[in-house]
Structure 1
């Protein structure tokens, strides 16, 4: 079966053919929580209010841009169950890849994970998600919460994410406006789960 994973799940790439996702460019990114759980906060009066988990995600998101010199954060919005962002890769040199929190680049027995291109969108997202899992687990322990912790079998965010290469200024302005207006349009948002309100 073409495009399947283990002859079971359809896993076709949504990637722009031939594009170097480690090269300079501007990207529109969307990351969604597992099961679209609205655990990042809530919308009231067209404004987003972050939960404790949302605050952790926001801190880790901003930290990602402090530790990765090649990344520039343009616009972003954390919503109850997803994040929209415009991120620019602008490489001016050759820097080492950093990890987030307790994230590591090798498995415990020393085997390397499937390699991501250094300083690529996938490398950035992988590090960010690992950092979020780690910090939220620390919060769960600290507050003695009786909820499952997050690990490689129980992810805070969905395994995949959506990326779109922004090709021109018109597209950029349209996406930026969409992100800014997202809290006002939450009632019409495709990620809004009315049963979770």
Structure 2
């Protein structure tokens, strides 16, 4: 898979994500830029913005979130920042600004799919799916 100029921008912006947000304790896992989509794994470690009770992820020796609350849940609406949605929003915005210099019609799908990886087996399966995604491109219904 040889990325286009816009694909290179996607990869560069993704790689910069942890450096741009050092206060969020981010780490990248596998990722792949496909001609019409992107897959990536991102770890959000313990930081000042998540108040989860933290445990250790035995597979990676990192903190893993496990929520334990003794207070009643309060739904807090308002601007969302310092969470997965804000990370993706910032990433997509940075890519869009640069990509529209190349193709003024560039746009993203309006939504993204996220999935919490709960155990080492799921992590391995998702990592392998990402690694093997280019091998499936020839048969992809969107490959024209």
Question: Please, what TM-score do these two structures have when normalized by structure 2?
Answer: 0.71
Shift of 1:132: 0.9
Of 79, 98, 101, 1:135 maps to 98
Of 122, 126, 136, 1:185 maps to 136
Shift of 1:188: 3.8
Shift of 1:64: 1.5
Distance 1:186 1:160 in 2: 22
Shift of 1:65: 2.0
**More helix as a share of residues:** 2
1:24 aligned partner: none
Distance 1:128 1:82 in 2: 14
1:110 aligned partner: none
Distance 1:148 1:173 in 2: 38
Unaligned ranges ≥5, structure 1: 1-47, 95-113, 141-146, 151-155
Q: Root-mean-square deviation (CA), in Å? A: 1.8
Report 1:7-86 matches (<5 A): 48-69=1-22, 70-86=25-41
Q: Secondary structure at the match of 2:14?
A: helix
Question: 2:127 aligned with 1:176, yes or no?
Answer: yes
Question: Please, what TM-score do these two structures have when normalized by structure 1?
Answer: 0.53
Unaligned ranges ≥5, structure 2: 50-77
**Alpha-carbon displacement from aligned partner over 1:129-164 (angstroms, at most 9, x marks no partner):** 111111123x33xxxxxx5355xxxxx211100001
